[in-house]
Protein backbone atom coordinates (compact mmCIF):
# COMPACT_ATOMS: atom_id res chain seq x y z
CA UNK A 1 0.00 0.00 0.00
CA UNK A 2 1.30 3.43 -0.91
CA UNK A 3 2.61 5.37 2.13
CA UNK A 4 0.23 8.33 1.79
CA UNK A 5 -2.77 6.00 1.37
CA UNK A 6 -1.72 4.05 4.48
CA UNK A 7 -1.31 7.28 6.45
CA UNK A 8 -4.72 8.48 5.30
CA UNK A 9 -6.23 5.11 6.17
CA UNK A 10 -4.72 5.32 9.66
CA UNK A 11 -6.12 8.84 10.10
CA UNK A 12 -9.64 7.84 9.05
CA UNK A 13 -9.52 4.71 11.23
CA UNK A 14 -8.47 6.89 14.17
CA UNK A 15 -11.42 9.22 13.50
CA UNK A 16 -13.98 6.40 13.37
CA UNK A 17 -12.54 4.98 16.60
CA UNK A 18 -12.16 8.15 18.65
CA UNK A 19 -14.88 10.44 17.34
CA UNK A 20 -17.52 7.92 16.29
CA UNK A 21 -16.94 5.05 18.74
CA UNK A 22 -16.16 2.25 16.29
CA UNK A 23 -15.14 -1.03 17.92
CA UNK A 24 -11.41 -1.43 18.55
CA UNK A 25 -11.10 -4.58 16.44
CA UNK A 26 -12.25 -3.16 13.11
CA UNK A 27 -10.08 -2.92 10.01
CA UNK A 28 -10.28 -0.62 7.01
CA UNK A 29 -12.29 -3.31 5.23
CA UNK A 30 -14.92 -3.63 7.97
CA UNK A 31 -18.28 -2.45 6.67
CA UNK A 32 -19.77 0.60 8.36
CA UNK A 33 -22.88 -1.52 8.87
CA UNK A 34 -20.83 -3.99 10.94
CA UNK A 35 -19.66 -1.04 13.06
CA UNK A 36 -23.35 -0.30 13.63
CA UNK A 37 -23.03 3.07 11.90
CA UNK A 38 -26.45 4.18 10.70
CA UNK A 39 -27.07 6.74 7.99
CA UNK A 40 -27.02 9.64 10.48
CA UNK A 41 -23.58 8.65 11.77
CA UNK A 42 -22.34 8.33 8.20
CA UNK A 43 -23.63 11.79 7.33
CA UNK A 44 -21.83 13.15 10.41
CA UNK A 45 -18.66 11.32 9.30
CA UNK A 46 -18.97 12.81 5.79
CA UNK A 47 -19.33 16.31 7.24
CA UNK A 48 -16.38 15.79 9.58
CA UNK A 49 -14.12 14.46 6.81
CA UNK A 50 -15.24 17.22 4.43
CA UNK A 51 -14.30 19.89 6.97
CA UNK A 52 -11.06 18.18 8.02
CA UNK A 53 -9.73 17.59 4.51
CA UNK A 54 -11.31 20.55 2.69
CA UNK A 55 -13.24 18.48 0.15
CA UNK A 56 -16.93 17.91 -0.44
CA UNK A 57 -18.15 14.43 0.45
CA UNK A 58 -21.84 13.93 -0.19
CA UNK A 59 -24.15 11.76 1.87
CA UNK A 60 -24.55 9.47 -1.12
CA UNK A 61 -20.78 9.08 -1.57
CA UNK A 62 -20.16 8.07 2.05
CA UNK A 63 -23.07 5.63 1.95
CA UNK A 64 -21.75 4.07 -1.26
CA UNK A 65 -18.21 3.85 0.13
CA UNK A 66 -19.37 1.44 2.80
CA UNK A 67 -16.09 1.17 4.73
CA UNK A 68 -12.91 3.06 5.61
CA UNK A 69 -10.93 1.54 2.74
CA UNK A 70 -13.41 2.80 0.13
CA UNK A 71 -13.74 6.14 1.94
CA UNK A 72 -9.95 6.60 1.72
CA UNK A 73 -10.11 5.83 -2.01
CA UNK A 74 -12.87 8.44 -2.33
CA UNK A 75 -10.73 11.00 -0.49
CA UNK A 76 -7.72 10.17 -2.67
CA UNK A 77 -9.80 10.65 -5.84
CA UNK A 78 -10.70 14.08 -4.51
CA UNK A 79 -7.01 14.93 -4.15
CA UNK A 80 -6.53 14.30 -0.43
CA UNK A 81 -3.13 12.93 0.53
CA UNK A 82 -2.05 11.36 3.81
CATH number of the structural domain spanning residue 12:
1.10.1200.10
Q: CB under 8 Å to 49, separation ≥6 — which residues? A: 12, 15, 55, 57, 62, 71, 75
Chain segment 28-66, per-residue pLDDT in tens: 999 999 999 999 999 999 999 999 999 999 999 999 999
Residue 7, in any domain of the structure: yes
Residue 16, in any domain of the structure: yes
pTM of the model: 0.92
Residue 82, in any domain of the structure: no
Burial class, 44, CB count within 10 angstroms (exposed 0-12 / middle 13-18 / buried 19+): middle
Number of structural domains found in the chain: 1
Kindly report the CA angle at 21 between 80 and 69, in degrees rounded to 5? Answer: 35
Q: What percent of the chain has pLDDT over 90?
A: 90
**Domain hosting residue 63, numbered range:** 3-77
Amino acid sequence: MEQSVQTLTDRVLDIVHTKFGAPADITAATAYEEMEFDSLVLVELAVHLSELFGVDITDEEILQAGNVEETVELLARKGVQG
